[in-house]
C-alpha cells in the first residue's frame, strides 16, 4: 500500500483549510505536455495537465450558429467549429431575469448566430458545454455582462473589508452589467480595482464589435493560460513561489508578471537541479498513488474511491485500526475519511454526483460532527461543491461542479480503466527518455512501444517527437512491437546506432 505524504500533515493538524491553501506552484514542461502541481504546506493538493495536441477550450468566447433545437430536452446543439457540436441547455440560455416557465425556442432560432462561452471541455462523446451568459475574469473582478448585480466572494469574511469593496464598486453600478469581487481583491486599492473594471468593460465592448462584424464559427477570446490563471488566483494570497524547469515558460511568466502583476515577478523561479523537478519534489510518487482506488487513513482505516462515468462512490473501512472505544473509533475514522476525501476530490478533480458510505454510527451528535468536518474540509475547494447531508439510507451525497477532466480520465482515457491511455503513455515515454539521457548519457536511444502508440507519436504527437529528437541531437529510434502492452514501453541506451 502506498503512503500518502498528506496523511502525515493531516495527523499533525486540525486545520484542514490551512493544509489546502496553495503556497507553491510547480510547472514541469516536457515535449507535448505541461504538468502543473499546486502545493500547500508541502503537500500536493491540485494537479493539472496541458497537452499541446488537445488544448482546453474552457473559458473561450465563441461565435456559434444554432444547428438544431432539441425540444424534448429543452436544449440546442451549436456549431462552434469543433469536431463535436456544443451543447446549450435552457438553464444556460435563459436571461438572468427570466422565469422558469419558458422553452428553448423562446431564446433561439435554428440557423441564428449567437455569442457563447465554453463552460466545459468536450468529454468522451459529449461536446463542449456552453452558456449564453459569458463573463470576463480579471485579477480582482469578474465582469458579468447583462447581469446587473454586484456580488462579493464568500471567502472575504471581514465585514469592514466587504463594505469597503462594495463602496469602491458602487461608482460602477449600472442597470445593465454587474461584477463579482474576487477574493484576491482584498487589500487592493480603489485605483487598482476601478482600473480593472474599466479594462474589462472596454474588452467586452471590443468583443461586441467583433461579434457584429464576424461570421460563425469563430473564437473571439481565448481564456488565459492555466499557469497565468493560477498566478492570478493565488499570487496575491499566500503564494511563496512558482518554480518551473522550462526556460521558455520562465521567460513567458517573467514577461507576464512584469507587465501585468509586477509585485509578483520575484516569485517566478527557474529550476536548475539535475534531478527532474517532479521527482525532486516527490510529486511523481503522489501522481502514481492518485490512480489507485484505495487511500489509507492515518489511524489505519482506509477509503475506497470508485469512479464511474455517472457517479463517484466512496466506501469507508476500519482497516487495521487498534482504537478501543467502538463508537469513538467510528467517529474518528469517519472524521479522517471526510478530510482525506475532500483532499482527494480536489486532487483527482472528481465532480458530478458523489456518494460516501461512512461507517454506521448510532450517536446523532457524532453523525452531525462528521458532516460538519466534511463541509469544513470542502469549503476551501475553489469549485462550487454542495454537501446535502445524510440520505434515508445513511449515505452522504455531494455534488461538485464539473470543470475539466478528472485525473482518471486524463491518465486512463476514461474512469475505471486500470491502464494508462495511449496519449499518456507516449508523452511519458518521451519524458522518460529525456530523463534517461541526463542520468545515463548514451550516444543513441531506442524506445520500444506498442505499434498503436508508434502511429500516435508519428501523427498527432509528431511535434512533440520532433522536439525530443532535437534535444537528443537526432539520436532516437522508435520501434513498434506487437507484444508490448499499450500502456508499456522500453528504453534502451546504446553507444552507437
Say which residues have a Cβ less than 8 Å from residue 51's Cβ, sequence separation at least 6: 32, 33, 34, 423, 427
Whether the pTM exceeds 0.95: the reply is no
Q: How far apart are the first and last CA of the chain?
A: 41
Of residues 164 and 233, more confidence is placed in 164
Of residues 51 and 78, more confidence is placed in 78
pLDDT surpassing 90 at residue 5: no
pLDDT score at 8: 43
**What's the CA gap between 309 and 316, in Å, rounded?**
21
pLDDT score at 173: 83
pLDDT score at 70: 92
Of residues 6 and 25, more confidence is placed in 25
Percent with pLDDT over 70 in the chain: 93
**What's the CA gap between 406 and 414, in Å, rounded?**
9
Cell triple for residue 363? 450517536
264: three-class secondary structure by DSSP: helix
Least confident of 22-31, 66-75, 215-224, 381-390: 381-390
Mean pLDDT of 117-122: 91
HEC sequence for 308-368: CCCCEEEEEECCCCCCCCHHHHHHHHHHHHHHHHHHHHHHHCCCEEEEEECCCCCCHHHHH
Give the residue among 137, 134, 149 at the shortest CA–CA distance from 179.
149
Question: Residue 11: pLDDT band by 50, 70, 90 thresholds?
Answer: very low
Residues 359 and 316: beta-carbon distance below 8 Å: yes
Least confident of 22-31, 83-92, 415-424: 415-424
Give the residue among 188, 214, 291, 223 at the shortest CA–CA distance from 50.
223
Cis omega (within 30 of 0) for bond into 388: no
pLDDT score at 496: 61
Say which residues have a Cβ less than 8 Å from residue 473's Cβ, sequence separation at least 6: none
pLDDT score at 497: 56
Question: Residue 21: pLDDT band by 50, 70, 90 thresholds?
Answer: confident
Write out pLDDT tens, residues 462-495: 999 999 999 998 889 999 998 898 899 999 887 6
**What's the CA gap between 282 and 87, in Å, rounded?**
40
pLDDT score at 184: 84
pLDDT score at 326: 80
Mean pLDDT of 279-287: 91
**HSE toward the beta carbon, residue 443, CA cutoff 13 A:** 3
pLDDT score at 265: 87
Question: Residue 314: pLDDT band by 50, 70, 90 thresholds?
Answer: very high
Q: What share of the chain is helix, strand, coil (3-state, %, to 5)?
A: 35, 25, 35
Mean pLDDT of 53-74: 92
Write out pLDDT tens, residues 130-188: 999 999 998 899 999 999 889 999 888 899 999 999 999 998 888 889 999 998 888 88
pLDDT score at 13: 45
Give the residue among 295, 242, 292 at the shortest CA–CA distance from 264.
242
**What's the CA gap between 471 and 497, in Å, rounded?**
17
N residues, the chain: 497
Q: What is the mean pLDDT of the chain?
A: 88
Question: Residue 308: pLDDT band by 50, 70, 90 thresholds?
Answer: confident
Question: Residue 358: pLDDT band by 50, 70, 90 thresholds?
Answer: very high
Question: Residue 12: pLDDT band by 50, 70, 90 thresholds?
Answer: very low
pLDDT surpassing 60 at residue 248: yes
Question: Residue 125: pLDDT band by 50, 70, 90 thresholds?
Answer: confident
Write out pLDDT tens, residues 429-466: 999 999 888 887 777 899 999 999 999 999 999 999 99
pLDDT score at 418: 59
pLDDT score at 416: 52
Amino acid at each position: 500500500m502506498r503512503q500518502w505524504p498528506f496523511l502525515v500533515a493531516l495527523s499533525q493538524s486540525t486545520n484542514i483549510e490551512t493544509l489546502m491553501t496553495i503556497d507553491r506552484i510547480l510547472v514541469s514542461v516536457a515535449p507535448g505536455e505541461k504538468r502543473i502541481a499546486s502545493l500547500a504546506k508541502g503537500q500536493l493538493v491540485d494537479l493539472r495537465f496541458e497537452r499541446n495536441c488537445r488544448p482546453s477550450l474552457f473559458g473561450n468566447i465563441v461565435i456559434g450558429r444554432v444547428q438544431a433545437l432539441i425540444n424534448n430536452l429543452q436544449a440546442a446543439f451549436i456549431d462552434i467549429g469543433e469536431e463535436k457540436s456544443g451543447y446549450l441547455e435552457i438553464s444556460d440560455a435563459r436571461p438572468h431575469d427570466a422565469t422558469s416557465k419558458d422553452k428553448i425556442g423562446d431564446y433561439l432560432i435554428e440557423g441564428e448566430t449567437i455569442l457563447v462561452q465554453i463552460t466545459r471541455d468536450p468529454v468522451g462523446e459529449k461536446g463542449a458545454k456552453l452558456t449564453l451568459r459569458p463573463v470576463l475574469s480579471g485579477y480582482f473582478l469578474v465582469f458579468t455582462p447583462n447581469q446587473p448585480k454586484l456580488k462579493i466572494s464568500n471567502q472575504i469574511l471581514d465585514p469592514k473589508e466587504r463594505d469597503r469593496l462594495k463602496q469602491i464598486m458602487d461608482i460602477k453600478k449600472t442597470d445593465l452589467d454587474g461584477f463579482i469581487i474576487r477574493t484576491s481583491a482584498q487589500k487592493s486599492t480603489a485605483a487598482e480595482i476601478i482600473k480593472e473594471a474599466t479594462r474589462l468593460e472596454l474588452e467586452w465592448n471590443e468583443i461586441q464589435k467583433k461579434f457584429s462584424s464576424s461570421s460563425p464559427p469563430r473564437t473571439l477570446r481565448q481564456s488565459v493560460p492555466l499557469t497565468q490563471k493560477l498566478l492570478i488566483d493565488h499570487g496575491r494570497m499566500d503564494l511563496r513561489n512558482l518554480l518551473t524547469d522550462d526556460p521558455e515558460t520562465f521567460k513567458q511568466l517573467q514577461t507576464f508578471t512584469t507587465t501585468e502583476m509586477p509585485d509578483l515577478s520575484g516569485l517566478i523561479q527557474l529550476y536548475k537541479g539535475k534531478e527532474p523537478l517532479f521527482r525532486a519534489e516527490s510529486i511523481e510518487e503522489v501522481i502514481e498513488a492518485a490512480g489507485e482506488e484505495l487511500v489509507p487513513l492515518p489511524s489505519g482505516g482506509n477509503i475506497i474511491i470508485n469512479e464511474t462515468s455517472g457517479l463517484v462512490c466512496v466506501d469507508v473501512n476500519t482497516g487495521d485500526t487498534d482504537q478501543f472505544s467502538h463508537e469513538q473509533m467510528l467517529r474518528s475514522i469517519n472524521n479522517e475519511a471526510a478530510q482525506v476525501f475532500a483532499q482527494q476530490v480536489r486532487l483527482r478533480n472528481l465532480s458530478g454526483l458523489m456518494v460516501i458510505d461512512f461507517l454506521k454510527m448510532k450517536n446523532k451528535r457524532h453523525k452531525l460532527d462528521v458532516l460538519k468536518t466534511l463541509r469544513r474540509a470542502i469549503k476551501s475547494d475553489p469549485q462550487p461543491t454542495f454537501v446535502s447531508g445524510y440520505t434515508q439510507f445513511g449515505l452522504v451525497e455531494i455534488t461538485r461542479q464539473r470543470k475539466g477532466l478528472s485525473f482518471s480520465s486524463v491518465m486512463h482515457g476514461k474512469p475505471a480503466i486500470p491502464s494508462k491511455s495511449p496519449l499518456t503513455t507516449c508523452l511519458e515515454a518521451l519524458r522518460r527518455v529525456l530523463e534517461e539521457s541526463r542520468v545515463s548519457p548514451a550516444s543513441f536511444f531506442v524506445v520500444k512501444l506498442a505499434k498503436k502508440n508508434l502511429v500516435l507519436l508519428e501523427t498527432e504527437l509528431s511535434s512533440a517527437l520532433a522536439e525530443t529528437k532535437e534535444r537528443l541531437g537526432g539520436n532516437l529510434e522508435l520501434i513498434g512491437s506487437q507484444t508490448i502492452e499499450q500502456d508499456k514501453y522500453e528504453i534502451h541506451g546504446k553507444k552507437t546506432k
